[in-house]
Structure 1
Amino acid sequence: MTRADGSAAAPTAPPAERVVARLRRHARILILPVVLLVAVAGGTGYAVGLVSESWQLLALLGGAVLVILLGCLLPYLSWLTGRTTITTRRIIMRSGVFVRVRNEVAHARVREVSIRKTPGQSLFGSGDVRIDVGQERPVVLRDLPKPHLVQAALHELMEAGRGPAMRGPVAATMPDGDTVAWGGR
């Protein structure tokens, strides 16, 4: 490439991909495991005083540990390992406790972004963000907090991918690092 003055122009590199947001499902799905943990701890503490045989005590404690592992720890690990990352170029969805699954959707493939809320989700300010990529079934980001903010950011990023420069609130908050802060908590 040459400039108008005849000198050679340096090739321009595409802008670096930046992380816009890292999201998890709404934490309200952990309410039931926490209630179960409190109930099992209280019930086990009460029942320990009622049993007299050592094998009964071991069976009681073993059962309590099993219920806590399956009913409390596994749901927490499932929530903790499920993460959605939105960058300036794509959406990356990761999930799985024992088997890791990773899906990516480029912003260029996204046709439509919509929100679906159940009454319970509306009560807690969360919702499902549905992303239509032209397949039979849309990609669904389940139970995200502040889904309207996520939808607005995705619309803005889709427009930025089609236009020469980013505009709007996400562009105004871009720091020099790799993470863009938006939707403060």
Structure 2
Amino acid sequence: MTAQQELRIATFRRGAELLVIPAVILIAVAGATGYLYSNLPDPYEDWMLLAAAGAIVLLAVVLPWWVWASRTYILTTRRIIVTRGLLIRRRSELMHAAGYRIDVVRGPLQRLFGRGTLILSSGGAELALKDVHSPRLVRETLSDQIEICQILAHRQAQQAAADPYMRTDS
């Protein structure tokens, strides 16, 4: 008997609506810098303007993008994987066959934008899928995968009990 092949169902992140304000700030900083460059009052110099614009872009544009891009959720046929970090990556995963509880938390703004946070807990392990689109669809998909994996594990256990010489290491 061959083992079930692991397939990727979906890869997703938090909602990108959080990046609208940084995009507006980037446009405003670029416009203001272009307008004020070489037109500053006497005690100020152009390098001061460029340094201030660079600091604003770094703190208000790059940092929010970095936080958004640093978390990825991968749903496969065997497990859910949460990766965090861009330079130093941390990875957490829950196997569907082990089963876990799925809680959906939605605040008023999340309801308005069709998002929610899914909290997956299995014994001591807990994963949070923050601010995902269509949390009901993601919850249903996770529930289906848990059920399928548990059925397959049960069938393999029955076949192994019926045939004690069956190879289970494949």
Deviation at 1:79, TM superposition (A): 1.7
Conserved 8 A contact 1:110-1:131: no
Partner of 2:99: 110
Cα deviations by residue, 1:36-73 (Å, 9 ceiling, x for unpaired): 21222233233325316697111101210121122212
Instruction: Name 1:40's counterpart in structure 2.
Output: 29
RMSD of the alignment, in Å? Answer: 2.1
Q: Which deviates more from structure 2 when the two are superposed, residues 73-82 or residues 57-66?
A: 73-82
Distance change in 2, residues 1:164/1:96 (3 Å): closer
Partner of 1:93: 82
Q: Does 1:62 align with 2:51?
A: yes
* Distance in 2, Cα, partners of 1:66 & 1:99: 24
Q: CA contact under 8 A between 1:19 and 1:86: conserved in structure 2?
A: yes
Contact map agreement 2:98 2:150 (CA 8 A) in 1:
no
Matches within 5 A, 1:1-20: 12-20=1-9
Residue type matched to 1:50 in 2? N
Residues 92 and 105, structure 1, Cα contact 8 Å, conserved in 2: yes
TM-score, normalised to structure 1's length?
0.75
Q: How far apart, CA to CA, are the structure 2 residues paired with 1:97 and 1:55?
A: 37
Decide whether aligned partners of structure 1 residues 49 and 55 sit closer, same or farther in structure 2, where only a CA change above 3 A counts: closer
Residue aligning to 2:159: none
**Runs (4+) off by over 6 Å:** none
Three-state SS of the structure 1 residue aligned to 2:97 is: helix
Q: Deviations over 1:11-53 (max 9, x none)?
A: x111100111101100111122112212222332333253166
TM-score normalised by L of structure 2 = 0.81
Matches within 5 A, 1:147-162: 147-162=135-150
Residues matched between the structures, number: 153
1:145 to 133, 144, 152: 133
> Percent identity among equivalent residues?
33
CA distance in 2: counterparts of 1:154 and 1:30, whole angstroms: 27
Shift of 1:87: 0.5
Q: Which runs of 5+ in 1 are unaligned?
A: 1-11, 166-185
From the two aligned structures, give the one with the greater strand fraction: 2
